[in-house]
Chain A
Amino acid sequence: MEGESLQGETLGKITHQNHDGAPTKMEVDKLSAFYGSKKAVSDVSLAFRQNTVTAIIGPSGCGKSTLIRCLNRMHEVSPGGRIEGRVLLDGTDIYTEDPVSVRRRIGMVFQKPNPFPTMSVYDNVAAGLKLNGMRKRAVLDEAVIRSLKQAALWDEVKDNVHGSGNRLSGGQQQRLCIARALAIQPEVILMDEPCSALDPIATAKIEDLIFDLQKTYTVVIVTHNMQQAARVAEYTAFMYLGELIEYDRTEKMFEQPTQKLTENYITGRFG
């Protein structure tokens, strides 16, 4: 998938490999999310297929970030955050399980790169494994190198893995955070506008990376950038005012949306 070719052109050329037959990895079932008494997500149901990238798009404040934070129980960390409904991972409701172990199976990459500033590149990537009690140097080494390679950062940091992560550029820091999330080998990776703080070149690198990640992981990405959704995601969900308006294959969404709201948003009439 060539990032540049789609910029500003018609979105008609998108062709993702078809995974319509792939099993459901995660399923959101009649989910509503609240901050105190304020409802941010309203009765949303949708399913994420295994080894695919699904984008959640929509204007600011539509609840897309809240929705993705419900998928690994980060929403309940926010003051007043609570949910109704179910979120299933391989058929089991994650809200009946321990949130800590849920988050080890469902990794997350945040809007702003947030590496641990007091740790080296190596320790950042190894942090999750060390939390799990892993102390064996050889295992850690292997995991750190594998994750940094998967995150397409290895070549840029291999000479200084024990140096501070602070000296990296914003894009490198975000790839470091992706490597950190990959190191504990989660099954699902959630990304909350992972490129919103990055320049176009860094963004293109991360998009390529996201596209590759679906071979191993199930990826859900929140983005306000429709071209980005078109480039990386096979499926797209459009949210507006807390509700799921439309959810379909990305090319279908962009070419023949069934809802007027979706069409207006995609054609830039509001947003």
Chain B
Amino acid sequence: MLRGTRNPGRTFSARLRRALDLGFLSLTLVVALGILALLSAFIIVLFRAADLSIVHYGLALLGESTWAPGVNKLGLLPFIIGTLLTSAIALVIAIPFSLGIAVSLSELAPRWIAEPLGYIVELLAAVPSVVFGLWGIFVLIPFMRTTIDPLLESWNNGADRLFHASIPLFTGPISGSGVLTASIVLAIMIIPTISAISREALRAVPETQREAALGLGATRWETTRMSVLSYARIGIVGAIILGLGRAVGETMAVTLVIGNSDFIPTSLFSQGQTIASLIANEFLSNASSPLAASAFLYAALVLLLITLLINIGARLLVYRLVKRTGGGAIE
């Protein structure tokens, strides 16, 4: 009975609300599509700026190991290796620490200590990378040179003798800077990221899951292993991927400690260069010709691609985890 005609005010407000709703929908849609437009514009601009070297060299730059912009030798292999190597080592160092921190903060530590420590971890994730870089220069590099590197070198020598081989891990001149030092700085930088996000994933595990394991007579470690970590595994994979993304793209801190050498590292003591540090270090000084300049943008494109591939790989991994176990956990 309540027809709109009998109550014009009501109809008006209903129309207004519908219009506002439509406006809200379109506005959010525009913003969301804006992201897509931005990414496309990004890739197009990079491609166009890099097209000189793409046309000139094709994919050959990816496998070429000499970087000498002065004579138009523009191989990107040393930097691709530098990027992947430092990120991989950083992950290997960071994952056990991060999971230990996350488990301790979410499962084991008493609340009065877990809460403040949690804030500190989150705070560490927000420290600007140049600060980590400076710490690397003033603290880590001298410490590596005088203590860690000689230790690793003697271990390497011992292993060489044991296996009658020359293992190219910790060999060569010791400068304190280099691939290993950069990896350690990266690891320290991504530990807070991975820990903080993993902790959230662990916290999201329902209490009933812990009770299920405890009720079967599991200890705290067994409960963590069989129920908590496995329930949260997808969130943890996500945390690791975010950390890896940060490591791959990190520029400033790496630039300050990796030694900036344009050669393929021959051991973990070698100085090296990542794609990001190459661009930061040399773009202004070494883009001597249009071809060389476009090679830097080629490198940037490769970095973007690596990041993209990592993300796709992570998606596939999560998809397979969910499929194999039928999901059920956080996705």
Residues of A whose CB lies within 8 Å of any CB of B are: 72, 74, 77, 79, 100-104, 107-108, 110-112, 114-119, 127-128, 131-132, 163-164, 166-167, 177, 180-181, 184
Contacts and interface: CB of A to CB of B under 8 A. Distances in A.
Closest 3 CB pairs of A and B: A117-B328, A164-B326, A104-B217
B215 A116 contact: no
A110 B212 contact: yes
A193 to B, nearest CB: 13
Chain B: number of interface residues, binned into ranges: 20 to 34
A77 B218 CA distance: 13
Given A104-B216, A180-B216, A184-B217, A166 B328 contact: yes
Contacts of B326: 117, 163-164, 166-167
Contacts of A131: 216-218, 222, 226
A104 B214 CA distance: 9
A108 B328 contact: no
Interface in B226-249: 226-227, 230-231, 233
B209 A114 contact: yes
Contacts of A115: 212
Contact of A177 (B210, B212, B233): B212
Contact of B325 (A118, A127, A132, A184): A118
B214 A74 contact: yes
Contacts of B111: 79
Contacts of A110: 208, 211-212, 215
A74 B217 contact: no
Nearest to B227: A116
Given A110-B208, A166-B327, A116 B217 contact: no
A116 B211 contact: no
11 contacts: A79-B111, A100-B219, A104-B216, A104-B217, A110-B215, A114-B212, A115-B212, A118-B328, A119-B230, A127-B226, A131-B226
Contacts of B214: 74, 77, 103
B329 interface: yes
Nearest to B226: A127
A192 to B, nearest CB: 10
A72 B218 CA distance: 13
Nearest to A113: B208
A101 B218 CA distance: 9
A203 to B, nearest CB: 19
